[in-house]
Chain A
Amino acid sequence: MSAATFIPAFVRRQSFIELNARARAQSLMDAGSWRELVGPFERIQSPWLPEQGIAPQSDDGCVVLKGTIGGKPAVVIALEGKFQAGSMGEVSGAKMTAALDLASRDSRNGKKTAAVLLLETGGVRLQEANLGLAVIAEVMASMLALREHAPVITVIAGTVGCFGGMAIAAGLSSYIVMTREARLGLNGPEVIEQESGIEEFDSSDRALIWAINGGEQRVGMGVADELVTDDAQEITAIVRRFVEAGLPLVHRSQQVDLYRARIAALDTSKQIDPLSLRESWNEEKKEGVAR
Chain B
Amino acid sequence: MEKLEFDYPSAKRRVTRKAHVGVVGSGDMEILMEPAETGIAHVSVLTSVNGFGSSWKAVLDRFFSKYDGAVRIHINDAGATPGSVMLRLEQAAEVIES
A55 & B34 in contact (Cβ 8 Å cutoff):
no
Interface 1/0 per residue, B18-32 and A, CB below 8 Å: 101001111011101
Segment 48-83 of B: residues with Cβ below 8 Å from A: 48, 74, 76-78
Partner of B48, one of A20, A53, A80: A53
A82 & B48 in contact (Cβ 8 Å cutoff):
no
Which chain B residues lie closer than 8 Å to A40 at the CB level?
A: 20, 30, 32
A56 & B34 in contact (Cβ 8 Å cutoff):
no
Which chain B residues lie closer than 8 Å to A203 at the CB level?
A: none
Which chain A residues lie closer than 8 Å to B28 at the CB level?
A: 82
A15: interface (CB < 8 Å)? no
A55 & B24 in contact (Cβ 8 Å cutoff):
yes
Instruction: Provide the main secondary structure of the chain A interface.
Output: loop
Q: How far is the CB of A51 from chain B (nearest CB, A)?
A: 9
What CA separation (Å) do A40 and B30 show in the bound complex? 10
> What range describes how many residues of B lie at the interface?
10 to 19
What CA separation (Å) do A20 and B78 show in the bound complex? 16
B23 & A82 in contact (Cβ 8 Å cutoff):
yes
Partner of A57, one of B1, B18, B23, B34: B23
Knowing A20-B23, A50-B1, A80-B23, say if A58 contacts B46 (CB, 8 Å). Answer: no
A54 & B32 in contact (Cβ 8 Å cutoff):
no
Partner of B25, one of A43, A53, A56, A83: A83
> What range describes how many residues of A lie at the interface?
10 to 19
A58 & B34 in contact (Cβ 8 Å cutoff):
no
A41: interface (CB < 8 Å)? yes
Knowing A40-B30, A50-B46, say if A56 contacts B23 (CB, 8 Å). Answer: no
What CA separation (Å) do A82 and B80 show in the bound complex? 14
B30 & A82 in contact (Cβ 8 Å cutoff):
no
What CA separation (Å) do A40 and B26 show in the bound complex? 19
A56 & B24 in contact (Cβ 8 Å cutoff):
yes
Knowing A55-B76, A55-B77, A58-B30, say if A83 contacts B20 (CB, 8 Å). Answer: no
Partner of B23, one of A43, A50, A54, A83: A83
Which chain A residues lie closer than 8 Å to B34 at the CB level?
A: 41
Residue among B18, B24, B74, B77 having the largest count of chain A Cβ atoms under 10 Å: B24
Segment 135-182 of A: residues with Cβ below 8 Å from B: none
A57 & B48 in contact (Cβ 8 Å cutoff):
no
What are 18 A-B interface contacts by the 8 Å CB criterion?
A40-B32, A41-B20, A41-B34, A50-B1, A50-B46, A54-B1, A55-B1, A55-B29, A55-B48, A55-B76, A56-B46, A56-B76, A58-B30, A58-B76, A80-B25, A82-B23, A82-B28, A83-B24
Top 10 nearest A-B pairs (CB, nearest first) are A82-B25, A57-B24, A53-B1, A55-B48, A40-B20, A55-B76, A82-B23, A83-B24, A55-B78, A55-B24
Chain B interface (Cβ < 8 Å from any Cβ of A): 1, 18, 20, 23-26, 28-30, 32, 34, 46-48, 74, 76-78
New A-B pairs, 5, CB < 8 Å, besides A55-B77, A82-B28, A83-B23: A20-B23, A55-B78, A56-B76, A82-B26, A83-B24
